[in-house]
Amino acid sequence: MGMASVHRRFKDSVYEQLARIGKATSAPKRLELLDLLCQGPRTVEVLAREAAVTIANASQHLQVLRAARLVEAEKRGLYVEYRLANEEVCDFYLSLRGLAESRLAEVELVTNAYLSERGAMEPVASDELLRRVKKGEVTVLDVRPGEEYRAGHIPGALSVPIGELKARLKELPKNREVVAYCRGPYCVMAIEAVELLRKKGFTAHRLEKSVADLRARGWRVAAGEQS
């Protein structure tokens, strides 16, 4: 075998392995599962519910991700819990999302159409909201499920899952701006929270950034119960 053939076989083998990541992330639902797992470990049952697929379908997608070494599974009692293999997987997902947002105009068109229909366009710049959050000038609400809050949240944020918000409005000072966040720009829980808060007379805004986004920007992330 000539040297050129040896080089070619080596390069073909390497790119074949790299392509495994592309193949594993080529399905929309698998990307959504990675996004969900960026929030923290989950069982198949929870992932299936959040991604609006059957448990069998979610399990199949997770097996593909696991075969590509992107996720890991651990038996916990009667359930199997899935988690990302490491933080690099979440960084990869965020980079992929950012690339799609910068290169595919359709992402912005779909997002803006949805937000406009809901009247949820955010007039305050994201950097300005982040400054207020970091300075503690606003009440920050984490409206994700409690287990996601405990896995990692913005320091000082209050855990108020979206399903509990209406019953807990009295806990929030009305003379202070509220910033709600959830799982990132395509998560609708914070949009629903802002809609409810504004109807009840609060000045409220949606923070598009997720905990994973902020961690990637160097923010300190807290874990555990709120103090």
Residues of the chain with CATH 1.10.10.10: 3-89
Q: What is the pLDDT of residue 128?
A: 82
What residues in the chain have per-residue pLDDT under 50? 123
Q: What is the pLDDT of residue 199?
A: 94
32 vs 6, 27, 137, 139, CA distance in Å?
39, 9, 32, 29
Q: What is the pLDDT of residue 196?
A: 95
- Topology at the third CATH level for domain 117-216: Oxidized Rhodanese; domain 1 (3.40.250)
Q: What is the pLDDT of residue 227?
A: 55
Q: What is the pLDDT of residue 190?
A: 93
187 part of the active site: no
Q: What is the pLDDT of residue 162?
A: 97
The CATH code that applies to domain 3-89 is 1.10.10.10
Mind listing the pLDDT tens digit for each residue in 16-69?
999 999 999 999 999 999 999 999 999 999 999 999 999 999 999 999 999 999
Q: What is the pLDDT of residue 124?
A: 56
- Closest C-alpha to 144, from 28, 30, 33, 40: 40
Which tokens hold the place of 96?
A: 């992929």
Q: What is the pLDDT of residue 113?
A: 86
Residues of the chain with CATH 3.40.250.10: 117-216
Identify each DSSP E strand in 129-226 by its residue range: 139-142, 158-159, 178-181, 204-207
Q: What is the pLDDT of residue 79?
A: 87
